[in-house]
Each structure stands twice: as C-alpha cells, then as structure tokens.
Amino acid sequence: MAGIYIHIPFCKKRCIYCDFYSTTLGHLKDRYINAVEKEIEIRKDYAGNETVETIYFGGGTPSQLKSEDIKMIISAINKVHNVKNNAEITIEANPDDLTEEYVNALKSTGVNRISIGIQTFNDRRLKFLNRRHNAQQAKDAVKRCQDKGFDNISIDLIYGFPDESTEQWINDIDTALELGIQHISAYHLIYEEGTKLYNMLEKNELCELDEEKSVEQFKILIQKLKEGGFVHYEISNFCMPGKESRHNSSYWKDKKYIGIGPSAHSYNLDCRQWNISDLEKYMKLVENGETFFEKEELTKEEHYNDYILTSLRTMWGADLNLIKKKFGEKLYGHFISNAGKYINNGEMRISDGMAIICDNGIFISDGIMSDLMWVE
Ligand code: SF4
C-alpha cells in the first residue's frame, strides 16, 4: 500500500511562523494543475504499482483550489494507479475557504477527510500569526463540514505562544473538545529560521515561552485530550479510536509514498527524493520533460535511523523483529543495548515484540531517539 501527497503551494497571504514552501502567485494555478497531472503520469511507477491507500492534498493552502481542480487531480491519479475503494482522501483547508458552497462542492470530489488549519481560538493570537480567519469563522467552518456529512475532521492547534497562560491554552483545548471532531494535531510554536517570527525573536521583539511552561502545556494537552476520549497515537497527534490519519501513519510505518509538486518528498524504501522548491522552475522542468528533483539512495544505517525517528514517535513503536531482519545484527544490537537504560527507567517498554516509548518517556523522546540512532 502506498500514499500520494499532492503539494498545493498557493496561499492568499503568508503566516509569520510558516516555513513550508508556498507562494502568493495564485494566477499560476491552472498551469500548475496541468504540471501536477503530468508529474502524476511521469512518476506512476515510483512506488512499484502498489495500491494507493491514501491521497493527501497539503500545502500551502489546498482549499485555494476549485473543487473541479481537485476532481481533476484525483481522476489523474485514478487513471494511472489502482486506488483502494475506501481510500482516505484528505484536504487541508483554511477555515475562511470553507464556505457553504465550497464544502458542498468538496462532497462531490471524493474527499472524505478535512484537516482545518485553526491554530488557536484566540483572535489576538490569530492576528499575531497573520492568519486570515477569526475564532468564530473557525467554529462555523467545522460545523458546516459536519452538517454536510463530513465525519472525519481534523484541526491543527498551536501552543507555546510567547506569554500564553495556562488558562488560555486550556480554553483552546476545551473549545476544540466541544466541536465533536475526530482528530487533533497540536504543535508547539517553532521559531524556524527565515520566518518573520524568527526575525522578531532575533530582534528581541518577543520572548520564547520558558521550557517549564511549554512542558506544562504539553502535559495538559495530553491529559485533557485523553479525558476527552482521544487516543494519543503520535507525539503531536490525537484521535478518536480508529480515526488515525492513515496517510501520516504510513510515513511513520515505513510505507512508500509519492510526493507531487514543488518541495514534495517521496520515498520508496530504497531512496528518498525531493522536488525543487520553486514553483515556476518546477512547472518549466515538468513541461519540458527535464529532471525536477534530487535523489539519494539510502544506506542501511540511514534507513535504520529514519525508521527509529518515525516509528518511535507513535504508540505502535518500533518492530524489533523488523529491525533485526531488515537492518541486521549490528544495528539490532545497538538498539537493544542503548534501549536498556530507558526500559529500566520505565521510559520505554517492550510489548509483543514492539519497543514503545512510555508516557513518562515522551518528554525526553527526542533524546531517546537520538540515542538509539546510529552514528558512525
Ligand atoms: S501556515 Fe499554511 S496558510 Fe499560512 S503561509 Fe503557511 S502554508 Fe500558507
């Protein structure tokens, strides 16, 4: 089974924290759809004819596309791939794009999962982030999707804002819980180099939230969502039972995926490749049949490190048998000997042949993963 990711690099305006590849050159959309259809055709064999289980429109802002464009892309995928009957088809959307008319039209595209970029229900913070919507629009958008029959809705939340109080964060979580959604992705605000937010920090125009408060907010998130019936299935992801993102889970479970569009990454178990992060160059190269990506073959050690970094983020953990069989005795021995102290401390456990980071190991998970990775 494989997944297909389609990058839609258009945004109406840029948010101050974002380092994803996107552009405000919306007039290039029609030409872009043609390039995407061409890349789908050119790269049809990349995942070795495996059945496609998930399709994910990410961005950028995919909800800036017309529903007919989304239909065309899905039909281009269907033309060259065997797409599973109940495939998960997700679109990321901005709340203010989800008008009655748009949500209605989405229903006829085959999209069955909507991931809404809400980030916070605090209007002051939404303005600070330079988001296009306000809190009321976000709540209305969720309701509209539910009323039209979408029963697999995810929202993104951000915590750890400068000066964010515990009460404000709890308010965001409570509001999310009241919405009756199936999935929540929650990320700490990150100061990525090159973003406006990073520059503000460099110029001392704001202060990062201190570490202790950040950890407290993460703990509150885990506790409140668990009380609300959510399963904490990946460090930053929570869902109602059975509603994991099947697409993102395939990244964490070492499955193949094809990334289409500028900056999109692909992986077929042997090599990684990534398309250039420049819309106009990408379109030109695809149109002329020239190379539009870079590629790297994975050594056994690199593949092992990728597997550690992804699998241990999840509640399913790393498969010890797979590590032994696929990566050999040397890397298996390295894993077992380095995992020992975490198991003894109760930060990791072995269950049915899977090595899993426990709840009290989650706050040091970055350290555990880097300790288990292979360094020459
Ligand atoms: S966060 Fe989303 S909407 Fe904002 S600039 Fe980045 S991709 Fe665009």
The model's confidence at residue 81, banded by pLDDT at 50, 70 and 90, is very high
What pLDDT sits at residue 197? 98
Q: How far is CA 269 from CA 201, 247, 253, 272, 374, in A?
A: 39, 16, 11, 8, 18
Going from the Cα of 58 to the center of ligand 1, the distance in angstroms, rounded, reads 10
What pLDDT sits at residue 254? 86
Ligand 1 neighbours by CB, cut-off 6 Å: 11, 14-15, 18, 20, 22, 59-61, 94, 117
What pLDDT sits at residue 376? 82
Q: Return the ligand 1 atom nearest residue 18 CA.
A: 6
Which of 7, 57, 61 is the best mutation target for the ligand 1 pocket, counting ligand atoms within 8 Å of the beta carbon and taking the most?
61
> Average pLDDT in the 40-63 region?
96
What pLDDT sits at residue 49? 85
Q: Return the ligand 1 atom nearest residue 59 CA.
A: 7
The string of pLDDT tens digits covering residues 255-290 is: 999 999 999 999 998 899 999 999 999 999 999 999
pTM of the model: 0.96
Q: Return the ligand 1 atom nearest residue 132 CA.
A: 3
- 146, HSE (Cβ side, Cα atoms, 13 Å): 13
Considering the chain, tell me which residue range(s) the CATH 3.80.30.20 domain(s) occupy: 2-250
Q: Return the ligand 1 atom nearest residue 11 CA.
A: 8
Which of 6, 7, 8, 11 is the best mutation target for the ligand 1 pocket, counting ligand atoms within 8 Å of the beta carbon and taking the most?
11
Q: Are 282 and 276 in contact (CB under 8 A)?
A: yes
Lowest mean pLDDT among 90-94, 119-123, 249-253: 249-253
Residue 366 burial (CB < 10 Å; 0-12/13-18/19+)? exposed
Position 354 pLDDT exceeds 90: yes
What pLDDT sits at residue 256? 94
The string of pLDDT tens digits covering residues 123-181 is: 999 999 999 999 999 999 999 999 999 999 999 999 999 989 999 999 999 999 999 99
Spatial separation of the C-alpha atoms in residues 44 and 211, rounded to whole Å? 46
The string of pLDDT tens digits covering residues 20-40 is: 999 999 999 999 999 999 999
| 2-250 topology per CATH | pyruvate-formate lyase- activating enzyme (3.80.30)
Which of 16, 20, 25 is the best mutation target for the ligand 1 pocket, counting ligand atoms within 8 Å of the beta carbon and taking the most?
20
